Amino acid sequence: MMSEARGKTYRPWNPDHYRHEAHRPEAKLPQADLVFFLLDTVPHLDLSRFYAPYEEETRGAPPFDPQMRVCLLRYAYGVGVFSSRQIAQACERNLAFLAIVGEERPAFRTISDLRQRHLAACCDVFVAVRRIAGEAGVVKLGHVSTDGTTRQGHASRHQAMSYGSMKKAVERWREAIEAWGTQAYQQDAEDDAALGSRRGDEWPAELARRDDRLATIEAARQRLEARAKAAAEAERQRRAAAEAERQRTGTKRRGRAPQEVDERPEDKAQMSCTDPALPIMQTNNKGWDYGGNAQASVDEAYQISVACDVTVEAHDKQPAAPMAPWTVAHLEQAGIERPTDAAGVVQKMPGTYDSGYDSAAAAQAVEQLGVDPSMATGRQRHQVPEPEEAEAPTTAKARMAATVRTPEGRAL
């Protein structure tokens, strides 16, 4: 029987159908498997934003029920399967995925289209899941752990050019365009003489491609120049602040006077032509490529993600401060209250960070935003005795190292 919602007919989806099959997922999978939780939870979520685009569409066959596709994506992402093609294959071979889709197996393009068409609505689903997790007590805010990883972008490093190469390429493409233009006019004259009133005045397709290429390179060069100008202005402000500090303290400048700030980009400065927003950064295999630094904050109790973001900062020290208010905002959006003491004062959330975040500025910033940070100050070597504290630590790094060596810090 076709399922109907808001007047639209969809393909049938009966989540209870799997309970009556010979090889029941309920008998084969653990009772605590995530698939059973989602099958019971997703039908109760507000998915009106997913249904809305289909209500006025009368062409074609009935679409897959959005509830099924949302449940499928949530489970796939929860078990670490992100490729639409791999999800489609799992719907044919994996018992848990079969428990979701039943007899109707969506193609990979159907799965991919849901994510692309309803990206904003998918964010609402994540908020709803956090809200349910908070009400169910699986987000306890015992402490939140934050970490980042470099994710490769879709920009090709082979499509990037240095500023010096851009200048040479612009001249080369201009010469090529002029040559093709001259050749086109000559060809037109010959064709007009040979063809008369018939068409023969089209410009070569190569001209348009190279013209577009020139525009792309020009735009990339302008972005590099704007970036270099902004960096030069920041350097001027830094020098002015340093000079004001020397004047205040009466300190003389050491060494030679610095050269005038140059607003022109260096010839080796690079810019991607396919995705200018992505920087080039070091990857996990010690190479270099265009990508972003993906950050995630996870609650201690059941590993529920409470915040995530992608930044262009290569090091984790810079995103530490922005992730703290993101976490607090997402918890408030989901209606999850932070712990309070006996007097009703909101307590700071304990936050754990690996050594990539180790910075006095980062620790101070997250502490001001409601997080009690515990940051690893370096890798702990095995079978190496801990150094004895000769005296009270004086630096921020030493104080943090002493904090994480306490029994409470070790427990976190």
Q: Are 38 and 71 in contact (CB under 8 A)?
A: yes
Distance CA 333, CA 131 (A): 8
Q: Could you tell me if residue 144 is inside a domain?
A: no
Q: Are 215 and 273 in contact (CB under 8 A)?
A: no
Q: Are 297 and 323 in contact (CB under 8 A)?
A: yes
Average of per-residue pLDDT values in the chain:
76
* Shared-domain flag, residues 260 and 297: no
The pLDDT tens digits for 75-121 are 888 888 888 888 999 998 888 898 888 888 888 888 888 878 887 78
The pLDDT tens digits for 337-396 are 777 877 878 888 888 888 888 888 888 888 887 888 888 887 777 666 666 665 677 777
Please report how the helices 119-136 and 320-333 are oriented relative to each other, as an axis angle in degrees rounded to 10.
Answer: 70
Distance CA 234, CA 241 (A): 11
Q: Considering only CA atoms, which of 268, 329, 323 is closest in space to residue 293?
A: 323
How many residues are given for the chain? 412
Residues spanned by the domain of 118: 3-136
Tell me what the mean pLDDT of segment 8-18 comes to: 73
Is residue 244's pLDDT more than 50? yes
pLDDT at res. 202: 47
| Category of 60 on φ-ψ map: left (φ > 0), alpha (ψ -120 to 50) or beta | left
* Shared-domain flag, residues 264 and 291: no
By three-state DSSP, how is residue 372 classified?
Answer: strand
Is residue 12's pLDDT more than 80? no
Q: Could you tell me if residue 153 is inside a domain?
A: no
Identify the domain boundary among 103, 136, 169: 136
* Shared-domain flag, residues 243 and 338: no
* Shared-domain flag, residues 285 and 379: yes
* Shared-domain flag, residues 7 and 130: yes
The pLDDT tens digits for 254-300 are 777 778 877 777 776 666 666 666 767 776 666 777 778 888 888 88
Number of domains in the chain: 3
> In this structure, what token pair is assigned to residue 405?
């060596």
* Shared-domain flag, residues 13 and 87: yes
Is residue 73's pLDDT more than 60? yes
Q: Could you tell me if residue 39 is inside a domain?
A: yes
> In this structure, what token pair is assigned to residue 313?
């900062």
Q: Could you tell me if residue 145 is inside a domain?
A: no
Model confidence at 158, pLDDT cuts 50, 70, 90, reads low
* Shared-domain flag, residues 382 and 265: no
* Shared-domain flag, residues 208 and 330: no
The pLDDT tens digits for 164-221 are 777 777 777 777 767 766 766 676 666 666 656 555 444 445 445 666 666 776 777 7
* Shared-domain flag, residues 8 and 85: yes
* Shared-domain flag, residues 361 and 302: yes
Pairing between β-strand 371-375 and β-strand 349-353 as defined by DSSP bridges = parallel
Q: Could you tell me if residue 142 is inside a domain?
A: no
Q: Could you tell me if residue 148 is inside a domain?
A: no
Distance CA 40, CA 42 (A): 6
Spatial CB neighbours of 303, under 8 Å, sequence gap ≥ 6: none
Distance CA 319, CA 325 (A): 11
Q: Could you tell me if residue 380 is inside a domain?
A: yes
pLDDT at res. 185: 62
Identify the domain boundary among 76, 103, 136: 136
132-135 long-range contacts, CB within 8 A, separation 24+: 132/41, 133/302, 133/304, 133/334, 134/331, 134/334, 134/335, 134/336
Q: Are 280 and 270 in contact (CB under 8 A)?
A: yes
Whose tokens are 């002015």? That residue is 240
Q: Are 373 and 367 in contact (CB under 8 A)?
A: yes
* Shared-domain flag, residues 261 and 172: yes
Q: Could you tell me if residue 96 is inside a domain?
A: yes
* Shared-domain flag, residues 210 and 233: yes
Distance CA 46, CA 49 (A): 8
By three-state DSSP, how is residue 106 classified?
Answer: coil
